[in-house]
Amino acid sequence: MKNLLLLLCLSLSLSSPVFADKAYDYYQQGNYKLAAIEWTKQAKKGSPYAQNRMGEFYRSGKGVTKDLKEAIYWFKESANQDYARAQLHLGWAYYYGKGVTKNYNQALYWWREAMNGKDAEANVEARYWIGLAYYDTQEFYNASVMFKPIANGGAGSIITITRAQYMLGLMYERGEYFDENIEIAKRWYTKASLSEDKKSAQALKRIKNSEKSKEAQAKFDEVKKKAKIAEQKRLAKIAETKRKVEIAEQKRLAKIAETKRQSEIAEKNRLARITKVAKELEIAKQKRIGIKAYREKNYDLAKEELLPVAKSGDTDSQYLLGRIAADISLDNKLALYWYEKVVYRGNIETHWRIADIYSKGGYGVLKNPRKAFNSYKILARNGNSKAQHKLGLLYLKGDGVEESLREASYWVQKSFDNDGNKDAEKTWNRYKLWNH
């Protein structure tokens, strides 16, 4: 893109209006030094044309020592007088950072100034440069808006028109803003190549070679596809024959394996039954010995025999181990462990022992009136008259539960109604619970 812009800059200087003065004569003769002297005089007098020429001289080093900053100075002097070609040069300098710090916005500012000026050819070239800037920043829609009017012809130079045509071709080829369309791209490249634009000619050649390559590849792929299909059919036939043989062999082996599996299952089931019966007999034996030892107060033997039975899920053994832990070993924590397994399996009465432990606390367990209350409540809901009376007393005292005479009245009455509990009757009368 930089080479393209440089070429456009040269076109600007060559297409400047011809002044019938010494400077121009010297320039035509190739005597750039004398031309620079004459144009410097005119530039200092305020001629925007001469100022622009001096900017070009300082930029290229013709007739003067090359000095980009000095070039920028003269371009600005000329551009500030609305000289369109100096504005174009200044935009180029800002865009590429030649003699000034790169500034995209300043570049666009000066190009737009040129685009809106009275120089028709400079207007078109400024539009092209703005389009190129948009293209470089991938603002493809804005770029297309700039390029299209130029590409369709107008007041611009041939080189500007052909370059715009090339850019539209490139955008269609790459699918930049426009949908990718090689045919439209070729049309724009062809228009540009008629003006001997080398890049467009190269693009057309590239597309042609690509199309030929695709066509050749398509033919090769078709031949390859047919060969592949034929090979697949041959291999499929071989595979089908092999598959049938394998299926027959698999069926034979499966039949043998199934017979063997059924035999193994039968043997496994037989051994499992023998093992289960033996284990049940052993458990039953251990349970008998453990219960007998417990009754004979041989607690060490009882624990030894009942432990494996309890682990198998026997609630009787679990209950007895809980009793031994609570009453003999004085280990309420262990007792609770076994009692909770028993109640989990539906032995409601064991809640009395759980409630007793939590009511008193000690031996590894903290006193917990709330948990004691919960156990009494389970018993009470299951119709236990004593538990119902106990629950009424707990509500009276607010022990483990919020004090409630209404609840106390409910449970004490329920206890008495249940089996004529004398203790419940006494509590009823003592606290005059009929008032609640």
Sign of CA dihedral 135, 140, 146, 152: positive
| Dihedral sign for Cα atoms in the order 184, 190, 195, 200 | positive
For the segment 301-307, the average pLDDT, to the nearest whole number, is: 94
Helix axis angle for 182-193 and 158-174, nearest 10°, is 160
**Residue-wise pLDDT tens digits, 172-188:** 999 999 999 999 999 99
Note the Cα 377 to chain centre separation in Å. Answer: 54
Q: What is the pLDDT of residue 297?
A: 95
Could you count the other beta carbons within 10 Å of the beta carbon of residue 376? 30
Q: Give the confidence band of 13 by pLDDT, cuts at 50, 70, 90.
A: very low
CA pair distance 436, 431, nearest whole angstrom: 10
Amino acid identity of 318?
Q
The mean pLDDT value for 395-414 works out to 93
The partner residues of 365 in beta bridges, in order of sequence, read 362
What pLDDT score does 15 carry? 39
List pLDDT tens digits, range 196-228.
889 999 999 999 998 898 888 899 999 999 999
- pTM above threshold 0.75: no
Question: pLDDT above 70 covers what percent of the chain?
Answer: 95
Confidence class for position 348, pLDDT limits 50, 70, 90: confident
Given a cut of 80, is residue 10 above it in pLDDT? no
Going by pLDDT thresholds of 50, 70 and 90, the confidence category of residue 109 is very high
Q: Which amino acid is at 150?
A: I
Q: Which two tokens stand for residue 62?
A: 């013709």
Fold of 2-206: 1.25.40
pLDDT at position 5, please?
A: 42
Q: CA 207, CA 191: separation in Å to the nearest integer?
A: 15
Q: What is the pLDDT of residues 21-58, one digit of tens each?
A: 789 999 999 999 999 999 999 999 999 999 999 999 99
Q: What spatial distance separates the first Cα and last Cα of the chain, rounded to whole Å?
A: 101
